[in-house]
Amino acid sequence: MLRIKNLLLAFWVMSSVIFAACTQQTEAGNATVKDTVAPDDPSDFVVITEVVPDAILEIRYYSTFNFIGTRVEGYLEPTALLTRQAADSLRVVSDELKAQGYRLKIYDAYRPQTAVDHFLRWGADLKDTLMKPYFYPDLVKDILFDRGYIARRSGHSRGSTIDLTLFDMSTKKELDMGGTFDWFGPESHPDFGGDPNTGVFTGKFNSPSGRTITAEQFEHRMILRRAMLRHGFKPYDEEWWHFTLRNEPYPNTYFTFPVKQL
């Protein structure tokens, strides 16, 4: 009987140790998954041009040439920021495309939540249609929320999303993508005129105004897309210029610090 009691006691002790170890492992595992950084902490971010020195910046939301028509709140300087992981992957993309005769041209990267809030206020003001002819001529402004063009939270605010195009070093011009950054409409979709999964131009268009792109313009979009996907980024179904790092380090944190030199 005593032997049985001792065995039971030993089993209980061992079980307690195993349970405690599992609990610690679970807690530790959760700690690695959770975002422990504060939303106003830019310590894991870098200035893109310090990592990708060949990148060209045209930060539209610092300028007045954007769908709002004024500088967007939160953009204090005409620079671009990304998490270190995203910037390192972008450098590999840049190296590959540079060998093909292209440089990256960046329109936007990290976007603070204050900028997204500015978009929301602008979207609610239906009388402000200053930039409609340039960015959404086929749409009535009050459907921009329903169509998903404006959201209360943006993946850009998590720090690993970027909007970009290609600059042709031989012509010294942007590569002709058959559409402009921040155009609100199906013409911006990666499948406009072709199948982005195969890269095959189909000539199928769903433009409300009969707009089209050429096979060459579609291929230009695919050059950018293929390079981004090869090096860890995933595309966005609504915009050919928009990519997010697949394994983004802060998938649940929406940062608030402004865009400026770090």
Concatenated DSSP letters of 33-49 = HS--S-TT--TTEEEHH
Q: What share of the chain is helix, strand, coil (3-state, %, to 5)?
A: 35, 15, 50
Q: What does pTM read for this prediction?
A: 0.86
Confidence (pLDDT) at 36: 63
Q: Return left, alpha or beta for 101; rule: phi > 0 is left, psi -120 to 50 is alpha, else beta.
A: left
- Collect the ranges in the chain with pLDDT lower than 70: 1-36
* Structural domain for 2, as ranges: 1-34
**Same domain for 121 and 221?**
yes
Instruction: Domain count for the chain, please give it.
Output: 2
Selecting among 58, 187, 239, 248, the annotated active-site residue is 239
In a domain, 110, yes or no: yes
CA-to-CA separations, 169 to 54, 60, 80, 227, in angstroms, rounded: 11, 21, 21, 17
The interaxial angle of helices 215-230 and 84-99, nearest 10 deg, is 130
To which residue do tokens 């329109």 refer? 107
245 touches 155 (CB < 8 A): no
Whether 239 is catalytic is yes
| CATH number of the structural domain spanning residue 114 | 3.30.1380.10
**Helices and strands per DSSP (H, E), number in the chain:** 6, 10
- Based on the domain organization, do 94 and 192 belong to the same domain? yes
Q: Are 30 and 103 contained in the same domain?
A: no
State the pLDDT at residue 35: 54
Helix, strand or coil for residue 195?
A: strand
Q: What is the pLDDT of residue 29?
A: 32
Do 24 and 59 belong together in one domain?
Answer: no
| Whether residue 116 is found in the same domain as residue 207 | yes
Together in a domain, 197 and 87: yes
- The tokens describing 146, both together, are 């329903």
Residues 108 and 193 placed together within one structural domain of the fold? yes
Is 234 in the same domain as 148? yes
The DSSP output letter for 259 is B
Query: 202 with 193: CB under 8 angstroms?
Result: yes
Does residue 200 form part of some domain?
Answer: yes
Answer whether residue 176 is part of any domain: yes
Q: Are 75 and 162 contained in the same domain?
A: yes
